[in-house]
Amino acid sequence: MANALDRIRVGSAPDSWGVWFPDDPRQVPWERFLDEVATAGYDWIELGPYGYLPTDPARLADELARRDLKVSAGTVFTGLHRGPGVWESTWEHVGQVAELTRAMGARHLVVIPSFWRDDKTAEILEPPELTSAQWTHLTRGMERLGREVRETYGLDIVVHPHADTHIDTEEHVERFLDSTDSGLVSLCLDTGHYAYCGGDSVKLIETYGERIGYLHLKQVDPEILADVVAGGVAFGPAVQRGVMCEPPAGVPELEPVLAAAQRLGTELFAIVEQDMYPCEPDRPLPIAERTRRFLRSCGA
């Protein structure tokens, strides 16, 4: 048995059930997701795409309580590198999600930067590299978001480096962290996305430990990843090829990542997310149960 990871709280998310959109006929109904995530042995979940789970706080609280589930975070998508002109529409979206997140007793808002390449069609929407002016918009915008989300909703933002966004590689992640105020902006380190983009999660935790506010646990299949990178395949089609795989089959190894996170000495959520959109409805539960057993064997 590995050392007990008593500072790590493990959960899962709609993502691990193939849920990417608020409403999509190819996704499992939300009731089934809640039933199965509880059956798999998880206590904590994320809200997933806003509108997938009920957005009425009283109703959602009731559905969660009946299954002994609690919420760790909500998620928002942002395009703050586009400058102050997008602030109002961003804040409107953030406000909806933050309101529900706070009502569920959660403390975190996961912030994902917008895609430069279309998730489904692979169409290039904008250059993969930001100009210096756009970097300034991005970093100042995230600081403003961190400040206003905390003042208005009492939540902490955790920015999620993500494939096919402008915060992806080690170089971009470090530039982002070095350019933002640690009091306002923390990171949601997604082990799968970071590996997908060539980064080393353990090294990031050991170098920027005070900036790690939240974890997403996932792995990539190195062989599929090599093909994806060589072929310039967009993230959505890469997921359909199985680039995000069931642990412990892929990289990075999660035990050293969890051990490094435990050494930080802070309470951290570690939410399992295995991107599987779209997937057969009977596929997620057995994977979730095996993953939960594997994480227990790591001490989580």
pLDDT band of residue 120 (cuts 50, 70, 90) is confident
> Is pLDDT larger for residue 1 or for residue 254?
254
pLDDT exceeds cutoff 60 at 1: no
* Closest-CA residue to 238 (of 289, 189, 191, 276): 276
244 within domain boundaries = yes
Please choose, from the candidates 232, 230, 233, the residue with its C-alpha nearest in 3D space to the C-alpha of residue 242: 233
pLDDT band with cut points at 50, 70 and 90 for residue 161: very high
DSSP output for 99-123: HHHHHTT--EEEEEEPBSB-TTT--
Q: Are 134 and 167 in contact (CB under 8 A)?
A: no
pLDDT on residue 56? 98
Q: How confident is the model at residue 121 (pLDDT cuts 50, 70, 90)?
A: confident
- Between the alpha carbon of residue 189 and those of residues 35, 51, 241, 286, the distances in Å are 27, 24, 23, 25
- Distances from the Cα of 292 to the Cαs of 11, 120, 207, 248, 298, in angstroms? 9, 30, 28, 11, 10
DSSP alpha helices (H): ranges in the chain?
30-39, 57-66, 87-103, 132-153, 170-178, 191-196, 201-207, 222-231, 235-240, 254-263, 284-297
Cis peptide before 278 (omega within 30 of 0): yes
Is 3 within the bounds of a domain? Answer: no
- pLDDT above 70 covers a percentage of the chain that reads 99
pLDDT digits (tens, 9 = 90+) for 38-62: 999 999 999 999 999 999 999 999 9
Q: Which of 75, 151, 148 is nearest to 113 (CA)?
A: 75
71 assigned to some structural domain: yes
Q: Extract the tokens encoding 219.
A: 């792995």
Q: Is residue 131 part of a domain?
A: yes
Q: Is residue 83 part of a domain?
A: yes
Provide the residue range defining the domain that includes 285: 8-297
CA 86 to chain centre: 22
For tokens 């569920």, name the residue: 104
Task: Give yes or no for a contact between 251 and 282, defined as CB atoms under 8 angstroms apart.
Answer: no
| Higher local confidence (pLDDT), 120 or 157 | 157
CA 16 from chain center: how many Å?
11
* pLDDT attached to residue 122: 85
Sole residue written with tokens 């939960």: 292
Domain-embedded: residue 153:
yes
| Within-domain flag for 175 | yes
* pLDDT for residue 4: 85
The stretch 88-109 carries a mean pLDDT of 98
Model pLDDT for residues 236-295, shown as the tens digit of each residue: 999 999 999 999 999 999 999 999 999 999 999 999 999 999 999 999 999 999 999 999
> Residue 30: which of 43, 17, 39, 40 has the closest Cα?
17
**pLDDT tens, 187-200?**
999 999 999 999 99
Domain count for the chain, please give it. Answer: 1
**pLDDT band with cut points at 50, 70 and 90 for residue 2:** low
Residue 1, domain member (yes or no):
no
Closest by Cα among 150, 216, 146 to 184: 146
Cα–Cα separations (whole angstroms), residue 236 to 50, 119, 241, 244: 19, 5, 9, 11
Q: What CATH number should be reported for the domain holding residue 153?
A: 3.20.20.150
